[in-house]
């Protein structure tokens, strides 16, 4: 999925933005098919929904050589971790429905800034209802997404 967003769709991926794209991809896939793409669990934290073990996930992917993590300096003391795919996108790993979902998520959310995507994710019931406790977000919230994929896509 990282290779799809970065290589095919030319989206710069920093951790916070990537976490939201993964959330929207998994929850839209669940909305469409009853299954997420990654099988990850998501948690509501301060900056929106994230894979529950996202730090470990990125370290593991980096150690396996699938991604590289490069710290970028933005000025005024602000840093961010940019995620880059080290392997090409392989569409044979995805079903037709999953590819439709990835296209939808890239088109719907890919051009948004990280701040815009965080703000948008804070409007989702799944985040809103679980943020105070940093709780897991049940996949049932997929059916309440503000801009979810249609069933006929």
At 139 the pLDDT is: 98
pTM to 2 decimals? 0.93
27-85 residue pLDDT tens: 999 999 999 999 999 999 999 999 999 999 999 999 999 999 999 888 888 888 999 99
At 36 the pLDDT is: 98
Q: How confident is the model at residue 150 (pLDDT cuts 50, 70, 90)?
A: confident
Q: Would you list the domain boundaries of the chain?
A: 2-144
Distance CA 40, CA 54 (A): 9
Q: What percent of the chain has pLDDT over 70?
A: 98
Residue ranges of the alpha helices (H) in 34-86? 54-63
3-state class percentages of the chain: helix first, strand second, coil last, to nearest 5: 45, 20, 35
Residue ranges of the alpha helices (H) in 43-149? 54-63, 96-109, 114-121, 125-128
At 78 the pLDDT is: 80
87-145 residue pLDDT tens: 999 999 999 999 999 999 999 999 999 999 999 999 999 999 999 999 999 999 999 99
**pLDDT of 151 higher than 70:** no
At 153 the pLDDT is: 47
At 73 the pLDDT is: 86
């Amino acid at each position: 999925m990282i290779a799809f967003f970065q290589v095919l769709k030319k989206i710069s991926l920093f951790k916070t933005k990537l976490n939201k794209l993964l959330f929207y991809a998994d929850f839209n896939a669940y909305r469409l098919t009853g299954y997420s793409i990654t099988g990850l669990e998501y948690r509501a934290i301060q900056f929106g929904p994230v894979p529950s073990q996202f730090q470990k996930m990125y370290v593991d992917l980096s150690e396996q050589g699938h991604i590289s993590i490069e710290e970028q300096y933005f000025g005024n003391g602000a840093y961010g971790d940019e995620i880059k795919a080290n392997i090409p996108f392989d569409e044979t790993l995805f079903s037709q429905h999953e590819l439709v979902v990835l296209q939808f998520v890239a088109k719907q959310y890919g051009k948004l800034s990280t701040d815009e995507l965080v703000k948008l994710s804070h409007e989702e019931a799944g985040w809103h209802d679980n943020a105070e406790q940093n709780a897991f977000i049940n996949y049932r919230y997929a059916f309440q997404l503000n801009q979810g994929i249609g069933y006929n896509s």
